[in-house]
Amino acid sequence: MQFVASEHQHRRLNPLNGQWVLVSPHRMQRPWSGQEEKPQLNVQPEFDPNNPLCPGVKRPNGIITERYESTYVFDNDFPALLEQVPSPPASDDPLFQAAPARGNCRVMCFHPKSNLTLPTMSATEIGAVIDEWIKQFNELSPKYAWVQIFENKGSTMGCSNPHPHCQIWSCSFLPTEPQLKQERLRAYYATHDRPMLGDYVERELQRRERIVIENPDWLVVVPYWATWPFETMLISRNNNKRINDLTNGQRHNLAFTIKELTTKYDNLFKCSFPYSMGWHGAPTGPEHAHASSAHWTLHAIYYPPLLRSATVRKFMVGFELLAMAQRDLTAEQAAQRLRQVDGTQHYLSK
């Protein structure tokens, strides 16, 4: 019997973290009688006087949110990281190790209107979001080793407020996922004298099996090693290392790329498509400011949970928690479906 990737189970390696994912395409035929989510529909009012992220509304700590007209950033009222905290004592017991953790957490509103999301905002408005991301990165990166810009969209992904926003957590340390990438990217560069994701972009452009969107500055693919059903990676094609490396033209194209990708997501199942996304680039701060970043390539990752429809999501449980990640739909099948979906007009505007 000849192996066919779209029919036969197999494992795929994620070279960015060294972990394998089990691909089981034959399971797409199984019936589903498990939990179904409510469709993620954006039915928010333009302004909600009870929503603390809306302009002019009082937040739980008594501070009134400014009457902003574009993006708006403030320190998180309930931060996971603080700057002025004592360090844990040193331990000589290998089983009970602790280390200092300091940082800053900010909330960034994308738009003053609560009934908008990135796919329903204009490219110009998304451009303002990108500009603010870079402004925040420029302010925080000289001090912190890692500045994590991320968006949780939808209650399915744990988003506690429907207003369009993201978060920016800055760390005095290199978190686990970036640390793994740092090590794997550096090792690849030491062996091949080329950045791993630069080579990966070239391979994907040659094979053309997993491409969702491409333009001169950005490539969006469903990664060969994707874990989530419609996971995508948005990769710089200009050897950018960090988000503040982007030129005005690259920012412009990024705004249109984000709008097209998120529109495709919403149009796929005719819902406000939930996801967690975030940016990864070369580490920052005093420790990394003068170190080589040649092995890095700026990229964003989108992790959406929906699998079969607007109501059926993937769960990371059982075997996946105890053994290894597993997916049914192949990366190639997911990319084909996303390619075929319209990314120019949102389903709500038709």
Kindly report each contact of residues 24-28 with a partner whose C-beta sits within 8 Å and lies 24 or more positions away, as own/partner.
24/326, 24/327, 24/328, 25/328, 25/329, 25/330, 25/333, 27/328, 28/328, 28/329
The helix or strand, by DSSP H or E, that contains position 150, with its residue range, turns out to be strand 146-153
The confidence score (pLDDT) of residue 14 equals 98
Four-residue CA torsion sign, 237, 241, 243, 244: negative
Q: Write the pLDDT tens digit of every residue in 107-124.
A: 999 999 999 999 999 999
The model's confidence at residue 38, banded by pLDDT at 50, 70 and 90, is low
The model's confidence at residue 311, banded by pLDDT at 50, 70 and 90, is confident
Domain 41-81+101-340, CATH class in plain words: alpha beta
The confidence score (pLDDT) of residue 33 equals 46
Domains of the chain, residue spans: 41-81+101-340
Judged against a pLDDT cut of 60, whether residue 32 lies above it is answered with no
CA geometry: angle 294, 295, 299, nearest 5 deg: 105
Judged against a pLDDT cut of 80, whether residue 51 lies above it is answered with yes
CA geometry: angle 50, 157, 271, nearest 5 deg: 80
Judged against a pLDDT cut of 80, whether residue 37 lies above it is answered with no
The model's confidence at residue 225, banded by pLDDT at 50, 70 and 90, is very high
Q: Write the pLDDT tens digit of every residue in 226-282.
A: 999 999 999 999 999 999 999 999 999 999 999 999 999 999 999 999 999 999 999
Closest CA to 298 of 189, 224, 217: 217
Q: How far is C-alpha 181 from the chain's CA centre? A: 15
The model's confidence at residue 35, banded by pLDDT at 50, 70 and 90, is low
Q: Of the ranges 46-50, 133-137, 307-311, which one carries the lowest mean pLDDT score?
A: 307-311
Judged against a pLDDT cut of 60, whether residue 223 lies above it is answered with yes
Judged against a pLDDT cut of 90, whether residue 56 lies above it is answered with yes
Active-site positions? Answer: 165
Other Cβ atoms closer than 10 A to 326: 19
